[in-house]
Structure 1
Amino acid sequence: MPRCLATIALLGAGLCAASFCPDAAAQPAQAQDTAALPAQPAQSAPQPGQSQDTSAAEVPPATAEAPTIELITMGAGDLLWEKYGHAALCVRYRDPRRDRCYNYGTTDFSDPVTLVWEFLRGQSKFWVSVTTPARMVHFYRDRLDRSLWVQRLPLAPEVARETAAFLANNALDENKYYKYHHYDDNCSTRVRDIIDRAVGGALSAATEPYPYTLREITRRGMAEYTFLVLLSDFPLGRRADRYPSTYEAMHLPFVLRAEVEHRLGIPPKQMYQRTGRSFNVTDPPSRWWLFLFALACALPALLTRLSPRLSSRAERLGLALSVLPGGVMGATMWFMAIISTLPEIRYNEVLLVLLPFDLALPFLSPRRRVGYARGRVVMLVVLLLLSAVGVLRQPIWALGMLALLPCLIAALPGATPAPSADDDRKR
């Protein structure tokens, strides 16, 4: 059971962040699906690890025709990794057969366990893949039913040629791979940086703070997934509670689209409006649900503690059931902090709140159990007070109840339980 809980927690925690395309922020799976588009007569369907079009890797000469560069952004989709949107750049010529779209959200999703492990280690390998505008639009519009917007960038001919050459060079096998990061380096930030260079830093001038923290951004995008939203407070550390600049917030494709309109004066033209249901991406569930879960977890310890008819073995069993969720989560968070290279996971105040040592509480002698529990209560109360006055940034009050309530029950005087058979033998 603990191993199962730890596995679910590890995968869920990794997917909480790895789902960003904004990502993701790069919305990873979308790019892979884009690569899986049905082949057109002149092209074969590409595989995840291959270039989608060999001609797309040819860098155009400096004297070539000046193309048009377009930003394409996609709205939310049905799947978890589609909730934050997606972005791509398309290069268009007078001859549509030369048109290409560049997608920086491509990876291999066939092994999610390996994907989460590499994500935690900061080794997630993503790459830029290439397809045609027609195939990309077909995939997102006809297969995924996701809204599409296009913005034609106001670039001088020589800048447009340089941008097209950069994209083509970036798609070469020796250049196309990069290490993905859900906030700092994803499908949207790669596109953002290319546009920013082309427009002389107009986007990077957006240094004002964004109105939501990274944690709030993450929770809002997953608002439909109550379990994952509540789970996200565990692995996301102190860094997630800072306000990014608007430029940094362009790891979200919809923010990138809005800022291109605001700073470059290019209103988005909607190519397609989703016909399916709308999504909740603004109203995540309250942390009071996590608090209620902590209360439910504490019930076995409370009921067995207050019942004089139950043996000490039953009391220990009730306490074990109550400390199990917090202890397993604590062990999982400590494991993730040790193996991960990501600062938002490694520097985590939850590590002070949930300790794997709490799992030993039911196995201590009564005197040591009470002493340990009282020490933990003092520690947790101090941590909650530090959180209340702003010394600690993270919202630990609800998840802290997973540890505080069982320890509080174990620390308080209660009815003397009937001796168990083990106790009689010890006498």
Structure 2
Amino acid sequence: MLSLLTTAALAAPPEACDLGGDAIYVLTITPGAEVTDLFGHTALLITSEQRDPIVYDWGHYAAGQLSTALDFLRGNPTFWLGADALDEVIAKFEGQDRTIYAQRLALPQPMAQAVRAQIDWRAPGDLEPFAYHWYRRNCTNEVMSLIDDATGGQISTQRAGPSPHTAVRQALRHAGGNLPVWLGLHLGCGRIADAPLTEWEAMFMPQTGFDGLASSSLTWPDGTQHPLVDHTCTLGGGTRGFAPAQPPRRDLGLLAAGLAGGGLVLAADRSSQKLALLGIAVLGGVLGILGSVVWIVGVFGMFEPVWQLHNLPLLSPLSAGLIPAALWARRAPHSRLPARFAAGLLALAVVGGLLAVAGGLQDRNLGVMGLAFPWLLASLIVLRPRRSIA
């Protein structure tokens, strides 16, 4: 609800910023087109009459290096805080057509000094790196935690109530325009990532952080209450906006893909078992690859442990075994082993479906069921024992 209210309030874009004097701004950058930019970005802008504006950005990492990519897969990439000239930051995001929202914080002098003390006006090379996590410690978390510490925990206390968000739903609504990323998140995130978040925890995402700051207030040392944000404006000329309030629903599309794949294999089986077995091998390879990627990322990556990946029974890495099963059925059409293997995969998927129902039938299981069940059922039919090869 909070995101919807804020989005409605931004239907008319804020005015362009007129920076001046000593001030602290939270910069929220809308999502971009690249995979690394899908979720948006957050940084801190400090202006002063004594020096040029400086943007403090916790999003610096060694881009373009194989070791960095491997660190991301293992779940332990290293990021660090950088200090950048405001003009360079505006030019960068304007070139990506991304909007920069600046929220000026109305902080009493002691709290403003606490923010500056934590930054300490150090050069980028003097700043310590930190271990990044996609929703526990990212650029937005770092900015929010710094402000919360400076205010004596007032923000996290106010935002301690439940939110309508979960980590995976937040990620899915931002990744909706990138089908491979959306599908990977849809298939690969486990129940831990689906746990309800408090409003404070949900502020790991830039847009939700923007919303949370806009609706927070502060108790000043004299006991008076003040809005945390007293002015919102925009920097640069980008036009890209925030992500939709809800993630896309593609259950029917996944069901259609499952029915189409299974139907094509069964249709092929009526004229040529060889062609049908080739289809089974292809379907098994697709399911096995999807399941293997989910398993690898779940065990070694930034997402949840494998026992939390409730889609694994539906998209099992064992599905790749349909490839040798199809070859065996071609060589030994009388054998029952290929059909028994397919029956085992189907039974495993049924167990996964029952567990999903028992656990509340989370949204993304519906699409995964629609994708997996028709393929596995078609495999069982095609791999049945034969007296002769068509």
Q: Equivalents in 2 of 1:169, 1:93: separation in Å?
A: 12
Q: CA deviation at 1:180?
A: 1.0
Among 385, 397, 400, which residue is 2:369 paired with?
Answer: 400
Match of 1:120 in 2: 73
* TM-superposition CA deviations, 1:73-111 (whole Å, max 9, x none): 2223343333332211122222234x4221011112213
Note if 1:79 corresponds to 2:34: yes
Among 190, 195, 212, which residue is 2:165 paired with?
Answer: 212
Match of 2:200 in 1: 247
Amino acid at match of 1:310: S
Match of 1:155 in 2: 107
Residue 73 and residue 349 in structure 1: after superposition, are their counterparts in 2 closer, same or farther (change >3 A)? same
Residues 137-152 of structure 1 aligned to structure 2 (within 5 Å): 137-141=90-94, 143-152=95-104
SS in 1 for 2:199: coil
Match of 1:183 in 2: 135
Q: Equivalents in 2 of 1:258, 1:303: separation in Å?
A: 52
Q: Equivalents in 2 of 1:138, 1:151: separation in Å?
A: 19
Contact 1:299 1:322 in 2 (8 A): no
Residue 417 and residue 214 in structure 1: after superposition, are their counterparts in 2 closer, same or farther (change >3 A)? farther
* TM-superposition CA deviations, 1:113-165 (whole Å, max 9, x none): 54342112122111110023333234334x23322222232333343233212
Residue 339 and residue 269 in structure 1: after superposition, are their counterparts in 2 closer, same or farther (change >3 A)? closer
Amino acid at match of 2:168: R
Unaligned runs of 5+ in 1: 1-65, 421-427
Match of 1:42 in 2: none
Residue 136 and residue 346 in structure 1: after superposition, are their counterparts in 2 closer, same or farther (change >3 A)? farther
Q: CA deviation at 1:345?
A: 6.4
Q: 1 or 2, which has the higher strand percentage?
A: 2
Contact 1:84 1:221 in 2 (8 A): yes
Q: Structure 2 length normalisation: TM-score?
A: 0.79
* TM-superposition CA deviations, 1:227-283 (whole Å, max 9, x none): 432332122122221221110111122222222221121244212475546576345
Match of 1:317 in 2: 278
Contact 2:30 2:240 in 1 (8 A): no
Match of 2:63 in 1: 109
Unaligned runs of 5+ in 2: 1-20, 218-226, 330-334
Q: Equivalents in 2 of 1:393, 1:116: separation in Å?
A: 31
Q: Equivalents in 2 of 1:399, 1:170: separation in Å?
A: 49
Note if 1:271 corresponds to 2:234: yes
Q: Equivalents in 2 of 1:77, 1:409: separation in Å?
A: 40
SS in 2 for 1:271: strand
Match of 2:350 in 1: 381
Residue 285 and residue 117 in structure 1: after superposition, are their counterparts in 2 closer, same or farther (change >3 A)? farther
Q: CA deviation at 1:172?
A: 5.6
Residues 353-364 of structure 1 aligned to structure 2 (within 5 Å): 353-361=314-322, 362-364=326-328
SS in 2 for 1:406: helix
Note if 1:201 corresponds to 2:171: no
Residue 274 and residue 341 in structure 1: after superposition, are their counterparts in 2 closer, same or farther (change >3 A)? closer
Contact 1:150 1:269 in 2 (8 A): yes
SS in 2 for 1:352: coil
Match of 2:185 in 1: 232
SS in 1 for 2:57: strand
Amino acid at match of 1:197: D
Identity fraction in percent: 22
Amino acid at match of 2:131: K
Contact 1:325 1:402 in 2 (8 A): no
Q: Equivalents in 1 of 2:123, 2:130: separation in Å?
A: 11
Match of 2:244 in 1: 281
Contact 1:237 1:394 in 2 (8 A): no
Q: Equivalents in 2 of 1:250, 1:380: separation in Å?
A: 35
Q: Structure 1 length normalisation: TM-score?
A: 0.73
Number of aligned residue pairs: give it. Answer: 349
RMSD value over aligned CA atoms?
2.9
Residue 393 and residue 275 in structure 1: after superposition, are their counterparts in 2 closer, same or farther (change >3 A)? closer
Q: Equivalents in 1 of 2:267, 2:134: separation in Å?
A: 44
Q: Equivalents in 2 of 1:190, 1:360: separation in Å?
A: 45
Contact 1:230 1:290 in 2 (8 A): no
> After alignment, is 67-76 or 239-248 more displaced?
67-76
Q: Equivalents in 1 of 2:176, 2:253: separation in Å?
A: 13
